[in-house]
């Protein structure tokens, strides 16, 4: 499908919900300031008008950012303006947590490195997303007294990302595309140009979105450097937390017993991404290992006598060495920390994305036409995790037979692919684009289990049938 025809179909199907990804890239807004793509696209959409040149759009967006998105060195200047009684509007990812013991609503303002600001009840009532992992938007701040101290307070908030979006519009639009065309749309929306990839490569790239549409989906992607493994997780959805290498503790992952604050896997986010997985270290690895096994199996973990249930998925991204386009060693899972060499833990991952089949990201790979706005699409994906079957009649998988963990994994993966591609078992493309890829994802886990523990997993072949 040529670019012009694809642009026309996408624009006709989604109207004001699309944006020219090539324009976004050419303006280079994120070279001026480090912001996610969904924020960048929202800003460009806000200032884009038919009578404006690219230079005018750039000037308006960067001018807005200069006024409302302060750099770290401006922190004390902003604080002084607030101290002097001035109301200040900032563009940031605001987040609220509730301290029941102290009876306080505590606001985090990252650009000011502030974690104990306040928020009015009126603002919080209108913006529940502030309690759900945070929300990007323009917030008006003012200094008020809590009776003892002066406190920065959020008195007005305009969210910049889409709220609930209409899934019926997505279903109706899908009817106008073939499955291959729909995959091209997904590629564009993710920020990739489909014509730069073979069909097999496209099929593998879109697998990165599966844990964004399915609760408690646990994946790995192993690939050489430069294939863009972490790009969409940083830029497509506010419901994702990406941790890049370094050390992680039980308190960070599960729960901090000193503060009773729930960790990254506690349900605040749809997905936890552990990037640079080959270099992650775990503080208190034995305890974390046990909790990982519990959580990846059941979606629950226990800390300090408390049992926490969460729907957050987990994906581990790691670099591996290749030889002639394939992993250099059969047990390529050994690139990960020793904890993941345990077959009992490995068995709880549902699939492995073959990142070695995805080419390095080059300038030709960047989207060169229309795609759904990132903030809109991020909310689509978020809603698909919990939507009822009556509202969104996709996500089906036929009843399968075989090893219970294999069946569970393939079923969950097939459900995610069914939602993403809007294909159910009665569709002619279901076997090719949903069930077979789901089996292949799980097959790679099965192969690694056989390499790690050949005495228990005597066969590497996946046996899941209807």
* pLDDT tens digits, 6-57: 999 999 999 889 999 999 999 989 888 888 888 899 889 889 888 899 999 9
Same domain, 144 and 237: no
Q: In this structure, is residue 446 part of a structural domain? A: yes
Angle at 26 between CA 25 and CA 29, to 5 degrees: 70
Q: What stretch of H or E contains 316?
A: strand 313-319
pLDDT value for 164:
61
Identify whether 223 is part of a domain: yes
pLDDT higher than threshold 60 for residue 447: yes
Spatial CA neighbour of 448 closest among 335, 284, 299, 311: 335
Domain membership of residue 90 (yes or no) is: yes
SS3 (DSSP) at 94: strand
pLDDT at residue 163 tops 60: no
Shared domain check, 223 and 133: no
What per-residue confidence (pLDDT) applies to 352? 97
Domain count, the chain: 2
H or E stretch covering 140: strand 135-145
The CATH number of the domain holding residue 89 is 2.40.50
Domain that holds residue 139: 85-159
Element (H, E) at 105: strand 104-109
Domain-embedded: residue 72: no
Q: Is the pLDDT of residue 328 over 60?
A: yes
- Do 295 and 197 touch, CB atoms closer than 8 A? no
Q: How much of the chain, in percent, has pLDDT values that exceed 70? A: 99
* CA nearest to 452, candidates 363, 346, 366, 364: 346
Q: pLDDT averaged over the chain?
A: 92
Q: How confident is the model at residue 228 (pLDDT cuts 50, 70, 90)?
A: confident
- Contact between 110 and 150 under an 8 Å Cβ cutoff? The reply is no
Report the alpha-carbon distance of residue 111 to residue 442 in Å, rounded.
42
Say yes or no: 134 and 244 in one domain.
no
CA distances from 53 to 29, 56, 59, 60 (A): 15, 5, 10, 11
| 348 in Cβ contact with 216 (< 8 Å) | no
pLDDT of residue 161: 62
**CA 154/CA 67 separation, integer angstroms:** 18
Residue 4 has a CB neighbour count (10 Å cut-off) of 9
Please provide the DSSP assignment of 441-458 as one string: HHHHHHHHHHHH-TTT--
**Cα atoms in the 13 Å half-sphere on the side-chain side of 172:** 8
Give the residue-averaged pLDDT of 296-318: 93
Tokens 């929202």, located at residue: 42
Q: Among 170-174, 230-234, 393-397, which stretch is predicted with the lowest mean pLDDT?
A: 230-234
The span from the CA of 367 to the CA of 20, in Å, is 9
Is residue 466 predicted with pLDDT exceeding 80? no
Residues 312 and 428 in one domain: yes
Question: What number is the average pLDDT over the span 299-328?
Answer: 91
Is 120 in the same domain as 208? Answer: no
Residue 370, sorted as left (phi over 0), alpha (psi -120 to 50) or beta, turns out to be beta
Q: Is residue 214 part of a domain?
A: yes
Q: Is residue 232 domain-shared with residue 280, that is, in the same domain?
A: yes
DSSP letter string, 198-210: -HHHHHHHGGGGH
- Residue where a domain stops, chosen among 159, 187, 220: 159
Cβ–Cβ < 8 Å for 410, 464: yes
Q: DSSP letter at 51?
A: T
Over range 275-286, report the average pLDDT.
90
Q: Which of 161, 186, 313 is nearest to 237 (CA)?
A: 161
Q: Same domain, yes or no, for 204 and 145?
A: no
Verify that 202 and 154 share a domain, yes or no.
Answer: no
The residue among 423, 408, 380, 417 whose CA lies nearest residue 464 is 408
| Range 281-304 average pLDDT | 92
Q: In this structure, are residues 136 and 161 in contact, taking their beta carbons and an 8 Å threshold? A: yes
Whether residue 434 sits in one domain with residue 285? yes
Q: Is residue 317 situated within a structural domain? A: yes
Strands (E), 32-103: 88-99
Estimate the crossing angle of helix 37-47 against helix 54-68, to 10 degrees: 120
d(CA 301, CA 243): 20
Look up the CATH number of the domain holding residue 318: 3.40.50.300
Q: Indicate if 215 and 139 belong to the same structural domain.
A: no
Question: What is the mean predicted confidence (pLDDT) over 256-262?
Answer: 86
Of 159, 184, 207, which one is at a domain's C-terminal end? 159
Tell me: do 236 and 305 sit in the same domain. yes
Q: Is residue 12 part of a domain?
A: no
- CA 70/CA 139 separation, integer angstroms: 13
> Taking a C-beta distance cutoff of 8 angstroms, is the pair 237, 378 a contact?
yes
> CB atoms < 10 A from the CB of 37, how many?
23
The predicted pLDDT at position 465 comes to 85
As a whole number, mean pLDDT of residues 273-302 equals: 92
Residue 17 is assigned to a structural domain of this protein? no
Q: Are residues 155 and 202 in the same domain?
A: no
């Amino acid at each position: 499908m040529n670019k012009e025809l694809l642009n026309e179909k996408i624009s006709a199907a989604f109207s004001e919900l699309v944006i020219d990804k090539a324009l976004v890239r050419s303006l280079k807004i994120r070279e001026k300031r480090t912001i996610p793509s969904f924020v960048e696209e929202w800003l460009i959409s806000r200032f884009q008008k038919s009578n404006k040149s690219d230079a005018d759009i750039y000037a308006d967006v960067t001018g807005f950012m200069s006024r409302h998105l302060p750099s770290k060195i401006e922190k004390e200047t902003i604080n002084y303006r607030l101290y002097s009684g001035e109301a200040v509007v900032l563009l940031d990812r605001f987040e609220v947590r509730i301290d029941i013991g102290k009876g306080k609503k505590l606001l985090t303002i990252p650009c000011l490195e502030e974690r104990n600001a306040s928020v009015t009840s009126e603002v919080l009532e209108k913006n529940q997303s502030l309690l759900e992992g945070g929300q990007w938007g323009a917030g008006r701040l003012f200094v008020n007294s809590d009776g003892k101290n002066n406190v920065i307070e959020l008195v007005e908030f305009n969210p910049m990302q889409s709220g609930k979006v209409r899934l019926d519009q997505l279903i109706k639009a899908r009817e106008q595309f073939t499955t291959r065309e729909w995959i091209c749309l997904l590629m564009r929306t993710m920020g990739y140009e489909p014509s730069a990839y073979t069909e097999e490569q496209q099929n593998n790239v879109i697998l990165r979105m599966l844990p964004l549409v399915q609760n408690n989906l646990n994946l790995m992607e192993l690939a050489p450097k430069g294939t863009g493994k972490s790009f969409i997780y940083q830029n497509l959805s506010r419901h994702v937390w990406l941790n890049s290498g370094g050390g992680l503790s039980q308190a960070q992952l599960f729960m901090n017993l000193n503060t009773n604050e729930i960790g990254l896997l506690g349900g605040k986010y749809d997905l936890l991404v552990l990037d640079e997985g080959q270099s992650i270290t775990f503080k208190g690895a034995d305890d974390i290992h046990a909790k990982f096994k519990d959580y990846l199996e059941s979606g629950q973990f226990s800390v300090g006598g408390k049992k926490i249930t969460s729907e957050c998925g987990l994906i581990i991204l790691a670099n591996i060495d290749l030889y002639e386009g394939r992993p250099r060693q059969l047990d390529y899972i050994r690139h990960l920390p020793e904890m993941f060499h345990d077959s009992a833990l490995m068995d709880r991952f549902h699939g492995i994305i073959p990142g070695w089949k995805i080419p390095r990201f080059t300038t030709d790979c960047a989207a060169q036409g229309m795609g759904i706005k990132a903030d809109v699409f991020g909310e689509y994906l978020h809603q698909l995790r919990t939507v009822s079957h009556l509202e969104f009649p996709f996500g089906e998988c036929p009843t399968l037979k075989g090893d219970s963990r294999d069946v569970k994994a393939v079923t969950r993966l097939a459900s995610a692919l069914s939602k993403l591609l809007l294909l159910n078992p009665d569709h002619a493309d279901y076997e090719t684009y949903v069930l077979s890829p789901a089996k292949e994802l799980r097959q790679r886990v099965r192969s690694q289990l056989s390499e790690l523990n050949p005495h228990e997993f005597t066969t590497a072949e996946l046996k899941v049938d209807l």
